[in-house]
Amino acid sequence: MSPTTIYILVGGGLLLIVLLVVGIVVSSSSERKLMEQRLGQYLDDGAKSNADQQADKAALTEWVSRRVAKTSYGERVARELARADLKFKIAEYFALIVISIFLFGMIAFFLGGGFSGGNASLISFAIGAIAGFFVPRTYVKRQQSKRLIRFNDQLSDMLNLMVNGLRAGYSTMQALEAVSRELPDPISSEFRRVIQEMQIGIPMEAALDNLLRRIPSENLDFVITAINVQREVGGNLSEILDSISFTIRERVRIKGEIRVLTAQVRASGTLLSIIPLCLTVVLWFINKEYLMSFVNPKAPGYPYCAPAVGFVILFLIGSGYLIMMKIADIEV
């Protein structure tokens, strides 16, 4: 058995042990600590939740999450997970990425010839590992997009419910509570979180700003700005929200029509960009000799032509994708 194979087996065994320990720690975490920690993520920068102060410092996921969350990258990851409404801690998300990298890498490793494939198997493992690295992030981005679209579609109904409540004599907080009870997800869960933050002492302006960070919607920005201005200078909030509701309803309708009309352009740009890369990967696994002829060192002009041609191919694919997405990106 070659030293490379021994290193792979030892590394894989150690990785499995680490993942097993992480899984045990994750499964032993209580639901209460998870809920309190997630609520504490949306407090002001100077405020700290009781859950964070009482967290179990011996838990591996708690330790990693606290350390990573203090960095700018950790804050960005936490915000991305909150926007996608995924019940993961930062450490759990990183563990998922590691599992995905190892799983896809091993699948590609065995498809590329396994332990008898030599360097080709290592290249196959690298291809699978790269794909595994991007799979969780792609899923998170897709969940964010779907959730944002659903939220914007429900925003006009939320405003109508608030307007009716305000005209019936409700306060702003009571109207928000009605929204959290009457409407479906995701808008109900987001406003329920706003109410919970206000109940533990967070000012309404800060709670609404936290909502805007979780839901980066221009339409929601209009609503929050109107509520904050009305609380400072006064005025008829129901009339303001009624006018905003009509504007948002029309914007959602127009954006929906544009999304349908540009769906073909976006799908074509995505497919035309993915097909060459996917075809290259497929050829690597089913016919390596044919693909490696492109980088044959004995070919005339190889040291100069092959890298240049590869760079031109990637440049044309990337520029074509960006141009088609720019054409389909129509501002309303």
Please classify residue 108 by burial: count the beta carbons closer than 10 Å to its beta carbon, then call 0-12 exposed, 13-18 middle and 19+ buried: buried
Q: What confidence category does residue 69 fall into, taking pLDDT thresholds of 50, 70 and 90?
A: low
Q: Say whether pLDDT at 31 is over 60.
A: no
Are the C-beta atoms of residues 208 and 228 closer than 8 Å to each other? yes
Whether residues 8 and 61 share a domain: the answer is: yes
| Cα–Cα distance for residue pair 270/261, rounded to 1 Å | 16
43 inside domain: yes
Q: Of all residues in the chain, what percent carry a pLDDT higher than 90?
A: 0
Whether residues 114 and 53 share a domain: the answer is: yes
pLDDT of residue 44: 43
**Token digits for 259?**
């999304």
In the numeric block, the tokens 């303001």 are attached to 240
Which is more confident, 117 or 135? 135
Whether residues 134 and 156 share a domain: the answer is: no
Average pLDDT over residues 125-153: 87
Best CA proximity match to 292, nearest among 123, 146, 170, 147: 123
Amino acid present at 7: Y
Whether residues 139 and 151 share a domain: the answer is: no
pTM for the predicted model, two decimal places: 0.67
257 inside domain: no
Q: What angle do CA 39, 43, 45 make, to 5 degrees?
A: 140
Average pLDDT over residues 166-179: 85
255 inside domain: no
Best CA proximity match to 178, nearest among 197, 156, 162, 155: 162
Final residue before a domain boundary, out of 90, 122, 145:
145
Whether residues 324 and 212 share a domain: the answer is: no
Whether residues 140 and 190 share a domain: the answer is: no
Q: Say whether pLDDT at 54 is over 50.
A: no
| Cα–Cα distance for residue pair 63/52, rounded to 1 Å | 11
Whether residues 85 and 165 share a domain: the answer is: no
Whether residues 128 and 21 share a domain: the answer is: yes
Q: 69-83, 215-229, 256-270: lowest mean pLDDT where?
A: 69-83
Q: Say whether pLDDT at 328 is over 60.
A: yes
pLDDT of residue 189: 87
Final residue before a domain boundary, out of 104, 120, 145:
145
Whether residues 77 and 172 share a domain: the answer is: no
pLDDT of residue 95: 83
Average pLDDT over residues 53-70: 53
Tally of domains in the chain: 3
| Cα–Cα distance for residue pair 232/139, rounded to 1 Å | 41
258 inside domain: no
Q: Say whether pLDDT at 6 is over 80.
A: no
Whether residues 137 and 153 share a domain: the answer is: no
Whether residues 274 and 320 share a domain: the answer is: yes
In a 13 Å sphere around the CA of 191, the CA atoms on its Cβ side amount to 27
Terminal CA-to-CA distance of the chain, rounded, Å? 63
The residue range of the domain holding 45 is 3-145
Whether residues 8 and 125 share a domain: the answer is: yes
**Which span out of 20-29, 116-125, 308-317 was modeled with the highest average pLDDT?**
308-317
Radius of gyration of the chain (CA): 26
